[in-house]
Chains A and B, each alone.
Chain A
Amino acid sequence: MKNNLKLGLAAIAVSTLGLAGCAQTSDAIVIGSQAYYSNEIVAEAYAQALEEAGYEVERNFSLGQRDVYVPAILEGEVDLFPEYTGNLLQYFNPDASETEASAVYDALTNALPEGLSALAMSPATDQDSYNVTQEFAAANNLSSITDLANLGSVTLGGAPELAERPYGPTGLLSVYGVSVEFLATGDTTVESLVAGDVDMANVYSADPRINQLGLVTLSDPEGLFLSSNLVPIASSALDQGARDAINAVSLAMSADDLVAMNVRSVEEQLSASQIAGDWLRSEGLIN
């Protein structure tokens, strides 16, 4: 009984603290991020740019996957979130057929629920891409997905869901006439490609391992892949000054910048705040 009472008091104390915490930070801009190191670096860049512009910021990083944090954004618990145009469009509209960058952005703007808006899209992308090893590319003279049509059989590795994605086996066949055998390699996709278990692998284009392992990314002339540019998703709590500060960050970040920051994270094991800060300084966005 005594213990129960203590527990109850503790619970009340904790919930009061929680409420106090909420009240205190209600005017700060809450920035979220995925549990993905690259996404956290971008979120950190937003945070430092906003702090430079004089805003109070609360970092609420590593919120997990889309299924977890999208409801949090819709609830108004998060004000700003780095996202990817194509993947987010697919989340809100699984049947979306747009693939070209600006068409995807427009479709996303329409698909976003009320209260959320997409700020300016960055030229930096982090999207699905098909990659082969240098040896395989050289042996079969490959530079584009089109070249695969000459090969007899190709095994494709990727996450289990790739089997059902529009750019998966069905899209390869209908758009490029390439028939593939699909192997769900899960989180071991890059390793499986290097080990030769699969001929081609779906890797995110900003993955440092593409550079590190010298993988060849096949070009996609027919626009099979959904473009996925970095895009900040903002709630109505963000004023125009904050939006301008974020837009400056987005426009300055190139695809190569993003890859370079990811490489620093993986190779030098630096913190997101240091990587983002160094980049912002090199762009003259903060002092």
Chain B
Amino acid sequence: MFDIPDFIGWLLNPENWQGRYGVPNLIQEHFILTLSAIALATLIAMPIGIAIGHFNRGTALVVLLGSASRAIPTMGLLFALVMAFGVQLRELAVVIALVAIAFPPLLAGAYAGISAIEKHIPDSATAQGLTSWQLLRIVEIPLAMPAIIGGFRIAWIQVTSTVVLAPLVGLGGLGFGIIQGLALRNFDQVVASALLIVLVTVLGDQLLGFAQKNQAFRLGHLSGGKSK
């Protein structure tokens, strides 16, 4: 379909790496938007998810939010929030739209991680004299880490691929090359930009996957059993 050398040529052209809409700036903006959204979503989702898992109350909420989030029309939410907040707060509006996407997998990861712990473990920890807070900090959260990181992997993939819509409301990010390229019918630029987005997405996912394996391996050693 496309000439491989052509989109590689686009990537190698130094002109495309300079200025406000050059690749380095776009990657930076892509990261800033993605990470702010995930950080904000973490602040909200982690305490709620861990509490639901720990007290085993409100599990219906996790299911409800998880399914509801799949029904959110992201682009509609993006425009509605930008119009509601005004264009001068468009960064905030975009980040909040992205939080709505990052929140459910983070919540589900935290909840699933804590609630999957076999009942006898917290029981014996309590029998050893651990307070509820210590139980959470020393036993439950470490045991839940692989599942929590799993939630981050899903959130990362979904958010980083949705940030691509940001140029529609006047922000940058790697979607810029796609949206501009389509209008200009510059398909080398479209392919090159898509490649960069895939690279960023996969790279982040692999890093998190490595951390996840690391945690699972550590846990396997601690319990003397085999990690998954």
Task: Give residues 156-186 of B contacting A (CB, 8 Å).
Answer: 167-172, 176, 179-180, 182-186
Residues of B near A181 (CB, < 8 A) are 20
Report which of B20, B87, B183, B186 forms a contact with A159, defined as CB distance below 8 A: B183
Query: CA–CA, A216 to B1, complex, Å?
Result: 45
Query: CA–CA, A51 to B186, complex, Å?
Result: 40
CB distance from A187 to the nearest CB of B (A): 5
Known contacts A160-B180, A164-B180: A188-B90 contact under CB 8 Å: yes
B167 and A67 within 8 A (CB): no
Residues of B near A185 (CB, < 8 A) are 87, 170
Chain A CB within 8 A of B223 CB = no
A195 and B176 within 8 A (CB): no
Residues of B near A255 (CB, < 8 A) are none
Known contacts A191-B87, A195-B88, A197-B88: A184-B182 contact under CB 8 Å: no
Report which of B82, B88, B90, B183 forms a contact with A160, defined as CB distance below 8 A: B183
Query: CA–CA, A164 to B172, complex, Å?
Result: 16
Residues of B near A164 (CB, < 8 A) are 180, 184, 186
B183 and A188 within 8 A (CB): no
Q: Return the chain B residue nearest A192 by Cβ.
A: B87
Chain B CB within 8 A of A116 CB = no
Report which of A91, A94, A188 forms a contact with B82, defined as CB distance below 8 A: A188
Chain B CB within 8 A of A95 CB = no
A182 and B20 within 8 A (CB): yes
B170 and A186 within 8 A (CB): yes
Q: Return the chain A residue nearest B83 by Cβ.
A: A191
Residues of A near B87 (CB, < 8 A) are 185, 188, 191-192, 195, 197
Complex interface bits, A160-175 against B, C-beta within 8 A gives 1, otherwise 0: 1101100000000000
Query: CA–CA, A67 to B176, complex, Å?
Result: 18
Complex interface bits, B26-56 against A, C-beta within 8 A gives 1, otherwise 0: 0000000000000000000000000000000
Query: CA–CA, A94 to B185, complex, Å?
Result: 9
A interface bracket (residues with beta carbon within 8 Å of B)? 20 to 34
Task: Give residues 173-230 of A contacting B (CB, 8 Å).
Answer: 181-189, 191-192, 195, 197
Known contacts A160-B179, A164-B180: A184-B86 contact under CB 8 Å: no
Known contacts A94-B185, A160-B183: A186-B88 contact under CB 8 Å: no
Known contacts A159-B183, A163-B21: A187-B169 contact under CB 8 Å: yes
Query: CA–CA, A181 to B171, complex, Å?
Result: 15
Task: Give residues 70-105 of B contacting A (CB, 8 Å).
Answer: 79, 82-83, 86-88, 90
Residues of A near B171 (CB, < 8 A) are 186
Task: Give residues 123-162 of B contacting A (CB, 8 Å).
Answer: none
Task: Give residues 92-106 of A contacting B (CB, 8 Å).
Answer: 94
Complex interface bits, B173-204 against A, C-beta within 8 A gives 1, otherwise 0: 00010011011111000000000000000000
Query: CA–CA, A185 to B170, complex, Å?
Result: 4
Residues of B near A195 (CB, < 8 A) are 86-88
CB distance from A161 to the nearest CB of B (A): 4
A184 and B82 within 8 A (CB): no
Report which of B170, B172, B184 forms a contact with A188, defined as CB distance below 8 A: B170
Residues of A near B169 (CB, < 8 A) are 186-188
Q: Return the chain A residue nearest B189 by Cβ.
A: A164
CB distance from A223 to the nearest CB of B (A): 22
A183 and B183 within 8 A (CB): no
Residues of B near A188 (CB, < 8 A) are 82, 87, 90, 169-170
Known contacts A164-B180, A195-B86, A197-B88: A186-B185 contact under CB 8 Å: no
Report which of B88, B168, B180, B182 forms a contact with A163, defined as CB distance below 8 A: B180
CB distance from A171 to the nearest CB of B (A): 15
| Interface pairs (14), CB distance under 8 Å | A157-B170, A159-B183, A160-B180, A161-B184, A163-B180, A184-B167, A184-B180, A186-B168, A186-B169, A186-B170, A187-B169, A187-B170, A189-B170, A197-B170
Q: Spell out A's residues near B (CB within 8 Å).
A: 67, 91, 94, 157, 159-161, 163-164, 181-189, 191-192, 195, 197
Of all A-B residue pairs in the complex, the 6 with the closest CB atoms, nearest first, are A160-B180, A161-B183, A185-B170, A191-B87, A186-B170, A188-B170
Extra pairs beyond A94-B185, A160-B183, A164-B184 (19, CB < 8 Å): A91-B185, A161-B183, A163-B180, A164-B180, A164-B186, A183-B170, A184-B170, A184-B172, A184-B176, A185-B170, A186-B167, A187-B169, A188-B82, A188-B170, A191-B83, A192-B87, A195-B86, A195-B87, A197-B87
